[in-house]
Amino acid sequence: MLRLIVAPLVGAIIGFVTNTIAIKMLFHPRKALYIGGFHIPFTPGLIPMQKDGIADSLGKIVSKELLNYKTISDALISEENINKLKNMLLQRAEAFKDDERTVDCVIKKYISEEDVEKYRSSLRDELTKVIVEKINEADMGTILAQSGMEMIKEKLAGGLLAMFISDDFIHSTRHILGSMINELIREKAPDMIYKEIGKVEENILSMKISDIFSNHEDKISEITDKISNICKTLIEENMDKIVEIVDIENIVAEKIKAFDPAQLEQLIFGIMNKELKAIEYLGALLGFFMGFINLLF
Domain boundaries, the chain: 2-70+247-294, 101-207
Local confidence pLDDT in tens for the 297 residues of the chain: 666 778 788 888 888 888 888 888 888 888 888 887 888 887 888 888 888 888 888 888 888 888 887 888 888 888 888 888 888 888 877 777 778 888 888 888 888 888 888 888 888 889 888 888 888 887 777 777 777 776 766 666 555 555 555 566 666 777 788 788 888 888 888 898 888 888 888 888 888 888 878 877 788 888 888 888 888 888 888 888 888 888 888 888 888 888 888 887 887 878 778 888 888 888 888 888 887 777 776
Whether pTM > 0.85 for this model: the answer is no
pLDDT at 162: 54
Directed axis angle between helix 113-138 and helix 103-110, to 10°? 120
Task: Give CB contacts under 8 A, 24+ apart, made by 61-64.
Answer: 62/248, 62/249, 62/252, 63/243, 63/247, 63/248, 63/249, 63/252, 64/249
Give, for 164, the enclosing helix (H) or strand (E).
Answer: none
Rounded to the nearest 10 degrees, how much is the dihedral formed by the CA atoms of 200, 205, 209, 212?
A: 10
Cα distances (angstroms) measured from residue 109 to each of 22, 180, 203: 60, 48, 19
Spell out where the chain has E strands.
34-35, 38-39
- Asked whether the beta carbons of 71 and 61 are under 8 A apart, the reply is no
pLDDT at 59: 87
DSSP per-residue codes, 126-138? HHHHHHHHHHHHH
pLDDT at 243: 81
